[in-house]
Amino acid sequence: MILTQLPRFHFLVFKNPPPSFNFFPKPKLPIIKPASPTLFSSLSTAEPIPIADFALPDEPKLEVSLDKLFVPPETEVSCNDPNLSTKILKGSNIVLSKYAREAQVVQAEFVKSSVRTEDCPSDGLPEFALVGRSNVGKSSLLNSLVRRKRLALTSKKPGKTQCINHFRINDDWYLVDLPGYGYASAPQELRTDWGKFTRDYFINRSTLVSVFLLIDASIPAKKIDLEYASWLGQNQIPMTLIFTKCDKRKKKKNGGKRPEENVSEFQELICGFFQSVPPWIMTSSVTNQGRDEILLQMAQLRNYWRKH
Ligand code: GDP
């Protein structure tokens, strides 16, 4: 299949590609108090309506307004819908569509490591690529998704993870483990040039349904993560942001922020570069927060992709 035939989701369109990143966050918007059910129906769609409070008591909470929702294709959202909040994945901004089905992982097996896109499996099954900075929690998340202790057996040493690792799920689709980037402890010359290695895969892999970009929510936004997200947007590669380590709730003494604050800030920093809001999910491999939500998002993207 050639690239032009790829039925990708074009709801992530890069807006105003920046010559360089401006890391000064936009001024904070006023905090909107949760709307009461009666107020809900009377507001116009132009007004952001906070509708989220999806977390369990011990999970970080984040309000999501109507204009910040990710609405999949062929899905309608109405601010008059009293059940709207039940149609949104917990701890995310993602609206469920009719395609969100068959999300369970029954079987998972490692298939192969490839060093070039051409060497990747050629059976045409849809796939999702997991990628993120070294130490973001990618292996932990991969293992939590498939409920295995050590499925992701890739070496952690810089220079040894330069492979595209395919894991087949339910004999039906692939999870793909891509090389981590930004090894802080490696000498400059050994650091992964993510652009060179993965650019070809992102652009030419016709069965890539979406990239799942992992961002550590326990620390403030990193320049390299913002650059990665903006590059994906610029190249119209579909992306879901996965915020990891959301169980790390303690503020650091040196003015560190809570996961939900880092999550909001990351979104503010990238929102200027996208025409529509990217989907995002808060997760923890310790508590399994977000696991089912990731699998449902993958299911709805995959089932839609198959139909189109
Ligand atoms: P990778 O380099 O991206 O594959 O990251 P790993 O999965 O090896 O995780 C890096 C470190 O972060 C390890 O010490 C993990 O135990 C820890 N870690 C990973 N995920 C989580 C999480 O959800 N919560 C917490 N608190 N720690 C995590």
Torsion of the alpha carbons at 256, 259, 261 and 263, rounded to the nearest 10: 130
Residue 161 in contact with ligand 1 by CB distance below 6 A: no
Whole-model pTM?
0.81
Residue 286 in contact with ligand 1 by CB distance below 6 A: yes
pLDDT the model gives residue 255: 66
Compute the average pLDDT of residues 109-119: 91
* Spatial separation of the C-alpha atoms in residues 114 and 121, rounded to whole Å: 9
Residue 133 in contact with ligand 1 by CB distance below 6 A: no
Q: What percent of the chain has pLDDT over 70?
A: 69
Compute the average pLDDT of residues 223-237: 90
Q: Which residue has the higher pLDDT, 137 or 154?
A: 137
**Cβ atoms of 238 and 267 closer than 8 Å:** no
The DSSP string of 218-254 is TSPPPHHHHHHHHHHHHTT--EEEEEE-TT--PPPTT
Q: Which residue has the higher pLDDT, 109 or 1?
A: 109
For residue 170, pLDDT beyond 90: yes
Beta-bridge mates of residue 112: 166
Tell which phi-psi region holds residue 74, choosing left (phi > 0), alpha (psi between -120 and 50) or beta. Answer: left
**Cβ atoms of 214 and 141 closer than 8 Å:** yes
Residue 135 in contact with ligand 1 by CB distance below 6 A: yes
For the CA of 287, the nearest atom of ligand 1: 23
Residue type, 261: E
Average pLDDT of the chain to the nearest whole number: 77
For residue 151, pLDDT beyond 70: no
Residue type, 143: N
Compute the average pLDDT of residues 240-257: 82
pLDDT digits (tens, 9 = 90+) for 193-227: 555 678 899 999 999 999 999 999 999 999 999 99
pLDDT digits (tens, 9 = 90+) for 181-200: 876 555 555 454 555 678 89
pLDDT the model gives residue 148: 76
pLDDT the model gives residue 64: 80
Among residues 209, 133, 194, the alpha carbon closest in space to that of 164 is found at 194
Residue whose CA is closest, atom 12 of ligand 1? 137
Token output for 177: 């483990």
pLDDT the model gives residue 35: 29
Mutate to test the pocket of ligand 1, among 58, 59, 135 (most ligand atoms within 8 A of CB): 135
Output the CA 43–ligand 1 centroid distance in Å.
Answer: 42
pLDDT digits (tens, 9 = 90+) for 26-35: 333 333 222 2
Torsion of the alpha carbons at 273, 9, 205 and 268, rounded to the nearest 10: 20
Which span out of 9-23, 72-86, 118-132 was modeled with the highest average pLDDT? 118-132
For the CA of 140, the nearest atom of ligand 1: 7
Residue whose CA is closest, atom 15 of ligand 1? 137
For residue 177, pLDDT beyond 90: yes
Residue 184 in contact with ligand 1 by CB distance below 6 A: no
